[in-house]
Amino acid sequence: MAKIVTSLALVPGAGATFIATNIGAWTANKGIKTLLIDLSARGVLGPLFLVEKAKEKVYPTTATWQEFSDPASSLIKTQYGLAVLPSAERDKSTDYDLNAEAILNYFDPLFEVIVIDLGGDIYLPHVFSLMKKASKNILVAEPSKRCVEALPGHIKEILMQYEPELIINRVTSRAYYHPRDIARQFNVGQYIAIIDDPKCNNEAVKQRLPLSLYGKGKAAQVLLEFGKHLFPETLRESKDTQEEQDIDVNNVRNLNESEVKGRGIKIDVDREREKEAREGLRKNRVKPIKIPKLLQIQGSLKKKLATKIREKVQEQCRLQEDILITVWNPSGFFVSMTALNLAVAAAAEGYDAALINYNFTNTETDVWFGIKQTRAKDANYNDAGIMTFGEAISPELAVKMLKERAWGVKYLPAGNKLGNIGTPDYGEDGVHLLENIIVAINAREARKPKVTIIEAGTWYEQPPVYAALKTCRVLFIPMSGSHQEGEIVRQQLAELKRVEVEPVTVELIFAPEEIKLPAQVCHERVVVPDDRERYLQASTIKKPYCLTTEDTKEFWRQVVNLISRLKAKKGNGRVWNI
Q: Give the residue among 537, 476, 550 at the shortest CA–CA distance from 509.
A: 476
Please tell me the predicted confidence (pLDDT) of residue 426: 65
Range in 7-11, 160-164, 307-311 the model is least confident about: 307-311
- Contact of 8 with 127, CB cutoff 8 Å: yes
Question: Quick count: other Cβ atoms within 10 Å of Cβ 188?
Answer: 21
Q: How far apart are CA 61 and CA 383, in angstroms?
A: 46
pLDDT single digits (tens) 80-110: 999 999 987 644 444 444 578 889 989 999 9
23 or 269: which carries more pLDDT confidence?
23
Please tell me the predicted confidence (pLDDT) of residue 122: 83
Residue 113 confidence class, pLDDT cut points 50, 70, 90: very high
Q: Give the residue among 19, 14, 38 at the shortest CA–CA distance from 229.
A: 19
- Contact of 398 with 386, CB cutoff 8 Å: yes
Mean pLDDT, range 460-477, rounded to an integer: 85
Burial of 418 (0-12, 13-18, 19+ CB in 10 A): middle
Residue 465 confidence class, pLDDT cut points 50, 70, 90: confident
- Contact of 26 with 224, CB cutoff 8 Å: yes
Half-sphere exposure of 462 (CA within 13 A, CB side): 18
Residue 11 confidence class, pLDDT cut points 50, 70, 90: confident
Range in 223-237, 307-321, 404-418 the model is least confident about: 307-321
Q: How far apart are CA 313 and CA 157, in angstroms?
A: 34
Q: How far apart are CA 562 and CA 61, in angstroms?
A: 58
Q: Give the residue among 90, 104, 91, 96 at the shortest CA–CA distance from 35.
A: 104
Residue 301 has pLDDT above 70, yes or no: no
Please tell me the predicted confidence (pLDDT) of residue 84: 94
Tell me the angle at which helices 218-230 and 198-206 cross, rounded to the nearest 10 degrees: 80
E strands, 97-220, in order? 113-119, 136-141, 165-171, 192-195
Cβ-proximal residues to 520 (8 Å cutoff; 6+ apart), any chain: 507, 573, 575
Please tell me the predicted confidence (pLDDT) of residue 134: 93
Phi and psi at 367, nearest 5°, equal -65, -40
pLDDT single digits (tens) 229-287: 888 765 544 444 333 433 333 333 333 333 334 444 444 444 555 565 556 555 544 44
Cβ-proximal residues to 205 (8 Å cutoff; 6+ apart), any chain: none
Q: How far apart are CA 364 and CA 341, in angstroms?
A: 13
Residue 34 confidence class, pLDDT cut points 50, 70, 90: very high
pLDDT single digits (tens) 546-565: 888 888 888 888 888 787 67
Please tell me the predicted confidence (pLDDT) of residue 317: 44
For residue 85, the Cα-to-chain-centroid distance in whole angstroms is 31
Range in 114-128, 313-327, 461-475 the model is least confident about: 313-327
Half-sphere exposure of 168 (CA within 13 A, CB side): 29
| 3-state SS assignment for residue 74 | helix
pLDDT single digits (tens) 363-398: 788 888 888 766 655 656 677 788 877 777 888 888
Please tell me the predicted confidence (pLDDT) of residue 268: 46
Please tell me the predicted confidence (pLDDT) of residue 394: 85
pLDDT single digits (tens) 186-218: 888 788 999 988 889 889 998 999 999 998 888
Burial 315-345 (b: 16+ CB within 10 A, else e): ebbeeeebbbbbbbbbbbbbbbbbbbbbbbb
pLDDT single digits (tens) 127-185: 888 999 999 999 999 998 888 777 777 778 888 888 899 999 988 888 878 888 888 88
Winning range, highest mean pLDDT, from 149-158, 219-228, 445-454, 544-553: 219-228
Strands 251-252 and 260-261: antiparallel
Q: What is the CA radius of gyration of the chain?
A: 26
Q: Give the residue among 129, 150, 154 at the shortest CA–CA distance from 535.
A: 154
Asked whether the CA dihedral 311, 314, 318, 322 is positive or negative, the reply is: positive
**Max Cα separation, the chain?**
83
In the beta sheet, which residues pair with residue 526? Answer: 508, 576
Mean pLDDT, range 427-435, rounded to an integer: 78
Domains and CATH numbers, the chain: 3-282 (3.40.50.300), 300-576 (3.40.50.300)
Cβ-proximal residues to 215 (8 Å cutoff; 6+ apart), any chain: 224, 244
Cβ-proximal residues to 575 (8 Å cutoff; 6+ apart), any chain: 520, 524, 525, 526, 527
Q: How far apart are CA 455 and CA 476, in angstroms?
A: 10
Please tell me the predicted confidence (pLDDT) of residue 491: 87
The average confidence (pLDDT) of the chain is 78
Strands 504-510 and 251-252: unpaired
Strands 352-358 and 409-412: parallel
Tell me the angle at which helices 300-317 and 430-442 cross, rounded to the nearest 10 degrees: 20
Count, in order, helices (H) and strands (E) of the chain: 22, 19
Q: How far apart are CA 383 and CA 369, in angstroms?
A: 10
289 or 409: which carries more pLDDT confidence?
409
